[in-house]
Structure 1
């Protein structure tokens, strides 16, 4: 068997085939499959494959690109569902657009893998344990930032149920990614029978450190509150039709009335549960808010905010019902002027704003989706307030940007909230990956997280990232649980990614100086 593989990888087409398979298999490391161990044989296999390519850096980039793009296509294929169902384009065009998106995203890891071969004077040990992990982190950061960023499927997300998750509250999800890449390098050295003692020590140190960190308590639990998340399961094809608004509101109201118990203090409706401008549904919101206040309940719901002075639209969350007693009139209850709201800052390209819209909008319905002309909310916003707790919010795609959320979490922020509408992606693997990402935020900031969606996956996690409950997809239902808000700060909340930036800088500087020293010594 090994001889057959060796024969296959002697030629370019065989190398590309093996790289494609290794990359595609990585999808199984992420939700809903969650086979985290898959990461290791795929990367080790690729590193061993690259040993045959070091004499040709062009071929190495090509093989790296195939490895990366196949991984991304397998992992992000769910985006095709929205294009196929709502794009109004031929299937072949939708598929081509997905390939082009993944080809662009694949440039970043491909450059990282290719660049790791360009620094001369670096030993295999330094390359596998230091250089490749650092370049991989840098490529992830660029992918998550350039052109508004797409920080999806970071390797660390696949390891939420392993000892390495202990690094998340200290260094964030990318701290786990770094540990994963270092272990991949150490395993490669072991298979090649190089630095066996060092490799075993590195793997053991990372696993033990992660386990110890996992046992630490970073925040202090507060008195519990009763929450209920309402999943309306509104048909996406009907959601934005004017005639559907009233039935949708009645459905959410009925679920909130019959699906809750008297103990519920906080009710959550998902993103754009009210598919209308707030100015147009005051006759519904004002009586609802007064009724909730009389019952000592608070409701947070997704809605479309509108500011007439600037003719601006915002993807928003507003708070109704019982609110904190404050002196300012605008904070005594719900109103159009109430500051107790959140406006989405990080908008989704195409879905919420269209770049080059004069060019793209006429091309296909996909570039003209409902409510695709939103304005950005400010980056720093006040927490949503109830009488029991302060809540840091993120709408849909924003939950994938931990640095954005980190800036809006204070020591007295007790709960994280994300509302979403993943009905765009049908029964694909996308919503499960989205939930996996949201769960990591609970672990990084050691706070309970509420995730309310239109049709799934609606779920609640505690401050350790343990699932307290979830609703099945494509059903109208209510999820009610008791949660404990937490106060305090995790190291990641305090310092963000700056320790990782410093680590990468020091590693690259050290390897550069070491390479220069070796060259100088050789010439001498």
Structure 2
């Protein structure tokens, strides 16, 4: 095979290696090196060739980072293996078009000057990641900033968030790709070393602690709605909820998998017993449960059980095909045999759940990928969360890298907002993460169990929470666009 044809395949392999740091905590530098090789390759190419290089790198990156989608489509959705594999590849290839356009623009507008070109690359890299994370409901899984959760750039999280960290990754990589020239080499080292030297500034302070109990139900996805398996799983969940001690017990997404009407028919008295128990002094509970009916619509929800008035959180950011059906794609949902289709969306800035003076903010499954949406809860400091709770069901993906990847994502959220998070999941990773992104307790994946521990609530607003809560991701997008426009203008003058 000619070398010219082989190089895109090597870049695709490098893109795949880029995702290693989304699972392994000591591989953050590998992600930067992979991007640096991409920079060097597109710097020597014309726009068309650079677009191919960016597309190949992005496709390898996303196939490796989201290959677990094959499990949900083939094993649980019933799609033949070739079609499921083709669907994963097609999604990765389509989403990589953003990076292809960015690399073509870089090849077209770079000037051959190391630092201005590095700034241009970082801006285009950022715009490509923002496009993937926002357009068409957004799919920001495996964004480059998540690979840095254990690296020195993690100190930037409370300032610029995951996309800002990704932009700095692009800047460091572009400086490193300039070789041993003194100025760009020094810039790359400084960008890596300075955040670590400065350390993480405390924008938050403690409010108190909660004793928490987290349930991991470990129900296989193909058994979750099975009549022969459901009664035993629901009984275990109820017993674990009723026996929990401390201040707060959390059960995962759809831990109770039946709608209210189905629950009243199939398990009469089940929900009422929970309501009566948690109305007494003792722990409060957050329980994942679908709510609604045919006339009013359905929601993927969290019910808050306590002596206080009833609490309800409805999922806002729904999963395409899993929780709502994009126009023209109902055939795909029917082929996947997904039992929960069109859900209603919750409100953008919901109230938190009050527990022992703490404000616990639930989010469901991959909602915690969208930090800019969580930031909206911090606009009013008096109502801002002091703690996050993520309720997830990743049973669709078995014991794949999706589980540690999601834990990485949650850890980055704690750094952005300087808030701890408790994660109650069906199959993993059920864990307690403090406001510094450190996992203080965790259950083994794929095993039923109960995790108990202590988590600290905190108050205060990080710079990222302040600007993202008010303006979303527009400040980053406008900054990147300004850098690109400046490069284009200088190129033409």
TM-score, structure 1 as length reference: 0.87
CA displacement 1:250-287 (0-9 Å, x = unmatched): 101223355x4x4x110000000000113444622222
Alignment partner, residue 22 of structure 1? 14
Alignment partner, residue 404 of structure 2? 432
Q: Which runs of 5+ in 1 are unaligned?
A: 1-7, 324-330, 332-337, 518-524
Q: How does 1:31-430 map to 2 (within 5 A)?
A: 31-32=23-24, 35-54=27-46, 57-119=47-109, 122-126=111-115, 128-189=117-178, 191=179, 193-194=180-181, 196=182, 198-258=183-243, 260=244, 262=245, 264-281=246-263, 283-307=269-293, 310-323=295-308, 331=309, 338=310, 340-356=311-327, 359-361=330-332, 364=335, 366=336, 368-409=337-378, 410-411=380-381, 412-430=384-402
| Residue 318 to residue 345, structure 1, CA distance change in 2 (3 Å) | same
1:46, CA displacement in angstroms? 2.5
Alignment partner, residue 467 of structure 1? 439
Q: Is 2:391–2:423's contact at 8 Å kept on the other side of the alignment?
A: yes
Q: Does 1:506 align with 2:482?
A: yes
CA displacement 1:200-235 (0-9 Å, x = unmatched): 432343234422553311111012110110111122
Q: Aligned with 1:274: secondary structure? A: coil
Q: Is 1:245–1:276's contact at 8 Å kept on the other side of the alignment?
A: no
Q: Aligned with 1:276: secondary structure? A: coil
Q: Is 2:321–2:333's contact at 8 Å kept on the other side of the alignment?
A: no
CA displacement 1:424-467 (0-9 Å, x = unmatched): 10011111111111111111000010111011110111111111
Q: Which moved more, 1:142-151 or 1:17-26?
A: 17-26
Q: Aligned with 2:282: secondary structure? A: coil
Q: How does 1:487-506 map to 2 (within 5 A)?
A: 487-496=459-468, 497-506=473-482
1:43, CA displacement in angstroms? 2.1
Q: Aligned with 1:222: secondary structure? A: strand
1:395, CA displacement in angstroms? 0.6
Alignment partner, residue 418 of structure 2? 446
CA displacement 1:383-440 (0-9 Å, x = unmatched): 2222431122211011111111111235242101110000110011111111111111
Q: Is 1:301–1:317's contact at 8 Å kept on the other side of the alignment?
A: yes
- In 2, the alpha carbon distance for the partners of 1:128 and 1:423 equals 44
Q: Is 2:22–2:405's contact at 8 Å kept on the other side of the alignment?
A: yes
- In 2, the alpha carbon distance for the partners of 1:34 and 1:433 equals 14
| Residue 375 to residue 213, structure 1, CA distance change in 2 (3 Å) | farther
- In 1, the alpha carbon distance for the partners of 2:64 and 2:40 equals 22
Match of 1:482 among 440, 450, 454: 454
- In 2, the alpha carbon distance for the partners of 1:286 and 1:314 equals 20
Q: Which moved more, 1:312-321 or 1:83-92?
A: 83-92
- In 1, the alpha carbon distance for the partners of 2:482 and 2:51 equals 26
How many corresponding residue pairs? Answer: 482
1:126, CA displacement in angstroms? 4.2
TM-score, structure 2 as length reference: 0.92
1:243, CA displacement in angstroms? 4.7
Q: Is 1:223–1:485's contact at 8 Å kept on the other side of the alignment?
A: yes
CA displacement 1:35-77 (0-9 Å, x = unmatched): 11112332222233334423xx323322321122112111211
Q: Is 1:30–1:157's contact at 8 Å kept on the other side of the alignment?
A: yes
